[in-house]
């Protein structure tokens, strides 16, 4: 079975450097064998990516926002790796929550979340099948278009095996 980071490389992606918290919190924490992430924005190299990552999402920006959701997911996975030691230690993706700063008439938040969900399914297969919430909101920190949170189950002894 291919390692998760090799699967990422095979599709032309990689995990970014661990994103620094934007306040007084940590980006991920484990409780038992569950890792919870803070909300992750579509950051690349310390700033919001250009397309799809700022302002409110509407029908015309749906595709760019779905790509931004993938970037936010990669940041969340980097935070998870910092706690788990390896993405290969993940036993299951439990829940993805995506908050989408939405135009008043926009109601396709679930399609924005599909950008992240499809990548989880591609990388983790059956382990990537998860429950999900996609919520429209008026505003998000730093003017971001979306914010993503993950809950995962992992093997805390994976490094010892």
Compute how many other C-beta atoms are within 10 angstroms of the C-beta atom of residue 114. Answer: 18
Q: Cβ distance 101 to 139 under 8 Å?
A: yes
Q: Which pTM value belongs to this model?
A: 0.95
Read off the pLDDT of residues 7-52 as tens digits, 9 standing for 90 and up.
999 999 999 998 788 889 999 999 999 999 999 999 988 888 866 6
Q: Which domains does the chain have, with CATH numbers?
A: 4-20+27-160 (3.30.1330.40)
Cα–Cα distances in Å, from 2 out to 8, 20, 132, 159?
A: 10, 29, 26, 17
Give the model confidence (pLDDT) of 49-76 as tens digits: 866 678 999 998 999 999 999 999 999 9
Residue pLDDT, tens place only, 89-105: 999 999 999 999 999 99
* Burial of 158 from C-beta contacts in 10 A (0-12 / 13-18 / 19+): middle
Query: What span, in angstroms and rounded, lies between the C-alpha atoms of 103 and 145?
Result: 10
Closest to 97 (Cα-Cα) out of 136, 127, 62, 71: 136
């Amino acid at each position: 079975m291919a390692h998760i980071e090799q699967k990422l490389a095979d599709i032309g992606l990689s995990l970014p450097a661990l994103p620094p918290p934007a306040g007084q919190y940590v980006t991920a924490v484990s409780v038992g064998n569950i890792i919870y992430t803070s909300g992750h924005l579509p950051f690349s190299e310390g700033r919001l990516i250009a397309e799809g990552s700022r302002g409110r999402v509407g029908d015309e920006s749906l595709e760019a926002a779905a790509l931004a959701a993938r970037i936010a997911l990669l940041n969340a996975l980097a935070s998870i790796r910092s706690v788990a030691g390896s993405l290969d230690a993940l036993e299951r993706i439990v829940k993805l929550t995506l908050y989408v700063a939405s135009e008043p008439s926009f109601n396709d938040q679930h399609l924005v979340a599909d950008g992240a969900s499809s990548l989880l399914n591609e990388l983790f297969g059956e382990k990537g099948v998860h429950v999900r919430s996609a919520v429209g909101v008026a505003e998000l920190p730093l003017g971001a278009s979306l914010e993503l949170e993950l809950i995962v189950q992992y093997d805390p002894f994976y490094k010892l095996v």
